[in-house]
Structure 1
Amino acid sequence: MLCALCFLFTFITRFTWPPLISVVVPALGMTMGQAGAFMSAFYLGYLITQIPAGVLADRYGARVILSLSLLIEGTATMTLSLIDSYELGFNLRILAGFGAGAVFASCSRALVEWFPPKEQGLAFGLLMAAPSGGILITNVLVPHLNQSLGWHGAFLAVGSLTFTAGVLILLLMKSNCTYNEKIGDVSEGLRLIFGNRDLMLTAATGFFLMWLQLGTATWANAYIKSLGFSISQAGQVMAWYGLGGVVAPLVSGIMSDRLDCRKPLVLAALVAVIPTTILFGQQTSFSMLCIVGLAAGFMSYIVNPQLTIMISQFAGMKWAATANGVSNFLFQLASLLSPWFIGLVIDSTGIFDYVWWILAMGPVVSILFILGVREKSVIQLGMGCKY
């Protein structure tokens, strides 16, 4: 639960921005491209720490790294309440992402320690409910914070909560392994990871899925508001989207624990999310936005725990955090590019009509990569911890 809480707060801080775009953009005189770049800035910092954090987690464990990550992220988000220019906000978003970048690999390592392979589906399902849980919570909470405290107060409140979570992780988290600084040469692990064809294909699958997920999470609020709905109503729609995304990894995790393989579940979800995304972008009524948004969130996030488990199993216990740091680095390149690119499309066309088709191309390409994965080619290394 502490891992899930830690990962959840990284998404609460990053997704505090989309509900506030319509308020902060005119206040700071920003363009939509710059608004998208604010989300991309988070992922610029996020990318920097992925691989180093994975290596450190494999050497020293997750607790201190996770705590420090949340403390940095919380401080940067609190400071966003003081910005008066795009440039300062951009730099603070990079710092917040820098703090958040260590979380995913460390949490993945902790779950591989604590749960045997046959129980990892539900454990990772709970962890991977965090991305959509962050969407759900921010779209319920942030409009109210904005209404009562203003956008400055919203950033301050979210940052303070994240900082507090970092303190709790430091005090309460335990490990199930004894770590040895001499587990092996880092280059050995990186050669194993980058040389594993199936691991790299799985990471590429995640890249193109993330193109869809982060593009939607960044721009759906602005799209809904462009239809004439309020910030609060847009938040309600995205709360339904987030709810679907919370339920999906849990269902997916339970299902996969009962199956011998995870690839068919990944394929089915990728096929289903393509028309669902396009359908969401064609809705104009509030009720249908909520209904289709729920379905789109569910279909979008079924795959997440399966990709993480597959990557962890390909790498084995010894290099689980490093492998997830590498793969998440590749995933998040899409998070860096997608919000910015979609913002440019909106600036150039003035409409959202093309956005959903561009986003839906992500899972189309993902299907091509996952088809080439041989799920049974698992490398079992360093499985030395007791479950």
Structure 2
Amino acid sequence: MSLAVDPAARHPYRWVVLVLSWAAFTMTAVDRSTWGPASVSVGEDLGVSLAGLGVFATGYYVGYVLSNAAGGVLADWLGPRVVLAASLFLAGGFMVLFGESDSVVLGIAFQAAVGVFAGCDYSAGVKLIAQWFPARDRGFAMGLFMTATSLGTVIANAVVPSLIAASGWRASYHLFGAASMVVAVLCFLLLRPGGHAMAARRERPGLRPLARNRDLWLLGLAGFGGLWGTYGFITWSNALMVKGNGVSPVQAGVVVVIFGVAAIVAKPLVGVVSDLSGGRRKVPTAVVLGGFVVALLAFGTRKDLVGFLWVAPFLGVAAYVYSPLMVALIPRLAGVRLAGSAAGMTNAFWQLGSTIVPVVIGGVFQATGSFFWAFATLAAGPLLGMFLMLGVREPGTATATHAPEPVARGGEPQ
């Protein structure tokens, strides 16, 4: 059943769509972030070295990158509701199986499987939000949607260390895997696309316009640099604080919780500000990425818990608020009809940073033994992203030479 309404009319059901899309994305973010606080315990249980722990995270992100590219096309082809619900349910199932694994090979395989299915809900969520929210409101909607990634980090770091102390690392994977499956069922039962989307024929989307879109390529490469820093921090910060500075696992978890809470507050705010300022996203994104470089270098020079706690909120803001700005640009650069495919393809590039960085940072820290050089390596990513963002031609600005977002009936961008 669809709701045959004009999305430009701001139908109240759009909030149901936003909340369910956000809940699904939050659960995959929790699933992904569980590895950070659990990694040391998993390594001790399975006999894996510190550098070897990065292979587990890389296994996850290899699957995640592949499914982002495919999941966006599937969301445009089969519909975002089916893709979101099915992929989240399977990701939760493999989380439960990872909690049962007793070998390194099996564990890496299950992590990769979680990544394969967890990568689809982002592009499906972007597609649903683009269908239900007109362009003038998408900054706030995407900002709220993207709080899922930082909220997932907060939940994992608030719950997992204590859960490990009480019941072992396996319990956290069982708990969050089961919760993901429950949210998937709710999404399947309650989500509906807009009537204008249901009226269109289901056919495989043509991707040639995306492949020729220079600005989407630049956005994808800039996001690669940003996520190199963000998910490199999420993956390694706990272990580096524990092994490199003698901070306890629970204290390291508190630092990352503060990091995530700051991002949760900042993401919707930056979306609202960009909406009120005419929807400009390019320059604010470049400025945030520059601040991210500074914050990573500052964190790398801290030596104790107090220092980490002082820098954590600033780092949390800088490490996350560029993402809703980038995501809000995607429907404007590609149009709503191809928003799922464009979101999946750009996020596949973004997540390549997440795939490569765990192994690189593990190698750098093992080779140098330097906490600072590990964070300087992380800072190289957003520095690259800042310069690439300056080359993006934003629709509706003086530097944009291509047509603005296409408009269909009722004034709703398609």
TM range (shorter): over 0.9
CA distance in 2, matches of 1:338, 1:5: 27
Specify whether residues 378 and 332 from structure 1 end up closer, same or farther in structure 2 by C-alpha distance, changes over 3 A only: farther
C-alpha displacement at 1:380, in angstroms?
A: 2.8
CA distance in 2, matches of 1:18, 1:342: 14
User: Is 1:168 matched up with 2:193?
Assistant: no
Report the more deviating stretch, 142-151 or 375-384: 375-384
Q: TM-score, with normalisation over the residues of structure 2?
A: 0.89
Partner AA of 2:298 in structure 1 = L
Preserved contact between residue 224 and residue 351 of structure 2 (Cα < 8 Å): yes
Fraction of identical pairs, as percent = 31
Q: TM-score, with normalisation over the residues of structure 1?
A: 0.95
CA distance in 1, matches of 2:348, 2:120: 11
Partner AA of 1:224 in structure 2 = M
- Which residue number corresponds to residue 357 of structure 1? 376
- Which residue number corresponds to residue 323 of structure 1? 342
Specify whether residues 180 and 93 from structure 1 end up closer, same or farther in structure 2 by C-alpha distance, changes over 3 A only: farther
How many residues align? The count is: 385
Partner AA of 2:380 in structure 1 = M
User: Is 1:380 matched up with 2:397?
Assistant: no
Partner AA of 2:86 in structure 1 = L
Partner AA of 1:353 in structure 2 = F
User: Is 1:306 matched up with 2:325?
Assistant: yes
Specify whether residues 7 and 385 from structure 1 end up closer, same or farther in structure 2 by C-alpha distance, changes over 3 A only: farther
Q: Deviations over 1:279-332 (max 9, x none)?
A: 111112222211201110111111101111112211001101011111011111
User: Is 1:16 matched up with 2:34?
Assistant: yes
CA distance in 2, matches of 1:330, 1:271: 20
Report the more deviating stretch, 89-98 or 155-164: 155-164
Q: CA RMSD in A?
A: 1.7
Residue ranges of structure 2 left out of the alignment (5+ in a row): 1-18, 396-401
- Which residue number corresponds to residue 204 of structure 1? 221
- Which residue number corresponds to residue 63 of structure 1? 81
CA distance in 2, matches of 1:378, 1:199: 14
Partner AA of 1:196 in structure 2 = N
Q: How does 1:237-256 map to 2 (within 5 A)?
A: 237-256=255-274
Specify whether residues 101 and 384 from structure 1 end up closer, same or farther in structure 2 by C-alpha distance, changes over 3 A only: farther
C-alpha displacement at 1:179, in angstroms?
A: 3.2
Question: Which residue among 158, 162, 171 is the counterpart of 2:176?
Answer: 158
- Which residue number corresponds to residue 101 of structure 1? 119
CA distance in 2, matches of 1:367, 1:334: 15
Partner AA of 1:312 in structure 2 = P
Question: Which residue among 91, 101, 105 is the counterpart of 2:109?
Answer: 91
Residue ranges of structure 1 left out of the alignment (5+ in a row): none
CA distance in 2, matches of 1:143, 1:16: 10
Q: How does 1:1-387 map to 2 (within 5 A)?
A: 1-177=19-195, 178-179=197-198, 182=201, 186=205, 188=206, 190-226=207-243, 227-260=245-278, 261-376=280-395, 377=402, 379-381=404-406, 383=408
Preserved contact between residue 59 and residue 180 of structure 1 (Cα < 8 Å): no
Partner AA of 1:193 in structure 2 = L
